[in-house]
Amino acid sequence: MKFSGNSHSLEADNEIGSHPWSRLKSVALLLAILAVVSVFIWQGITAHGNPDPTLPGTSLSAATLDIAVLVFREGLECILVLSAITASMTGGDRAYRRPITAGVGLGLVATLLTWFAAVGIVNDLGDSVPALALQAGTGLLAIIVLLVVMNWFFHKTYWGGWISLHNRKKKSLLASARTGDEGRLRIFSGLALLGFSSLYREGFEVVLFLQSYRLRFGTATVTWGALCGTVLTAIVAALTFAAHRRLPYRKMLVLTGVLLALVLVVMVGEEAQEMQLAHWLPTTPLPSLDKWMPGWLGLWFSVFPTIQTLLAQLFAVVAVAGSYLLVRLGAASSDSPDGGR
């Protein structure tokens, strides 16, 4: 899938050009990966293979990483849309980027207001709904949101359709500006709405998803994870809009999609266990697995020796893999000479 524009061309698989420091960057990346793996091995040994991320004073890195990945991926989608909208706004049309930027700012404010509203609603529900039931309910909501965010079933159509919709509206507004068919205020408000919808759509999904994490780990963990994801998004935005670099958006989105697939498996295991604790699901233990399954599998990856949790996670894996294969088969069919007929 390709999106064309001038210096902002959005060819999805286009890599940043060769650089004399590329080998040094590769070495630095390898060292960073080794450092992360070493930390996990060290923590596993010092904690006797069973680090509990929910104990006071213990790092909540697993939850923070999940949140950061989600926020970063949503930020990438927002940047992809905004890049497509503003790609052709050069020369005399650069002034039209300002209302889009203003709309993005309003979208950010609206996302923060939605966060506080969602927190208030969930807290009010906590006064009348048992804590375990509320946590299980918000967990189900988070899983649904995560499935929508991953967009495995329709990611090619989704990206293309969502971006095309914004581009058609932008072209219509700019054409009206040149022919004088609409007032200046209406044109600017339309462009601001494009910027607003590009950001708020992603922000709304993130707000819904994070409610489950807030109930489980607290506001501080959610805040740190969201900040990490926002910083990563800001770096990509700076490279895209300030440095005018052409980035491999699709590969970046696919990579974060794979990470979110792992997050989904963990969340499904957590949710199944919470539903068991709330007596929404029966609990059928598997003693044979319990004998050899280490405790850290449950604490870090939510893999528990019960039939219900393992079947739920197996279903999640099959759903993600199956839907991805359907997308690939559909793409291969549409690319065939007869158009899939």
Distance CA 187, CA 179 (A): 12
Distances (CA, A) of 253 to 159, 194, 258, 302: 11, 22, 9, 25
What pLDDT is attached to residue 134?
A: 82
Residue 243's pLDDT band, with cuts at 50, 70 and 90, is low
Q: How much is the average pLDDT of 249-278?
A: 78
**Tokens for 137?**
């309910």
Q: Does the pLDDT at position 56 exceed 50?
A: no
**Do 257 and 113 touch, CB atoms closer than 8 A?**
no
Q: Name which of 57-61, 195-199, 247-251, 300-304 the model is least confident about.
A: 57-61
Residue 196's pLDDT band, with cuts at 50, 70 and 90, is very high
Which residues, including other chains, have CB under 8 Å from residue 45's CB and lie 6 or more apart?
none
What pLDDT is attached to residue 28?
A: 67
Q: Name which of 2-11, 64-73, 85-94, 195-204 the model is least confident about.
A: 2-11
Give domain limits for the chain.
59-334
pLDDT per residue as tens digits for the range 135-191: 788 888 888 887 777 665 555 555 566 667 677 777 777 676 655 555 677 788 888
DSSP-assigned letters across all residues of 9-35: -EETTPPPPP-TTHHHHHHHHHHHHHH
Q: Does the pLDDT at position 6 exceed 50?
A: no
Instruction: Return the top range by mean pLDDT from 10-14, 18-22, 47-51, 119-123.
Output: 119-123
pLDDT per residue as tens digits for the range 270-323: 888 888 888 888 999 998 888 788 777 776 678 889 999 999 999 988 887 877
- Is-above-0.75 flag for pTM? no
